[in-house]
Amino acid sequence: MSFIIRLLVTGAVAFGLAHLLKGIHIDTYWTALIFALVLAIVNFIVRPLLIILTIPLTIVTLGLFLLVINALMVMLASRLVDGIQVDGFWWALLFSLLLSIVSSLLFSGKEE
Alpha carbon distance 25, 76 (integer Å): 15
Does the residue 87 lie in any domain?
yes
**Model pLDDT, residue 94:** 97
Does the residue 110 lie in any domain?
no
**Model pLDDT, residue 110:** 58
Does the residue 57 lie in any domain?
yes
Treating both helix axes as pointing N-terminal to C-terminal, what angle do 65-80 and 89-107 enclose, rounded to 10 degrees?
100
**Model pLDDT, residue 112:** 54
Does the residue 35 lie in any domain?
yes
Does the residue 112 lie in any domain?
no
**Number of domains forming the structure of the chain:** 1
**Model pLDDT, residue 100:** 93
Does the residue 100 lie in any domain?
yes
Does the residue 72 lie in any domain?
yes
**Model pLDDT, residue 107:** 85
Range of the domain at 14: 2-105
pLDDT tens digits in sequence order for the chain, 112 residues long: 788 999 999 999 999 999 999 999 999 999 999 999 999 999 999 999 999 999 999 999 999 999 999 999 999 999 999 999 999 999 999 999 999 999 889 888 755 5
* Helix residue spans in the chain (DSSP H): 2-20, 29-53, 55-60, 65-80, 89-107
Does the residue 111 lie in any domain?
no
Q: Is the whole-model pTM more than 0.85?
A: yes
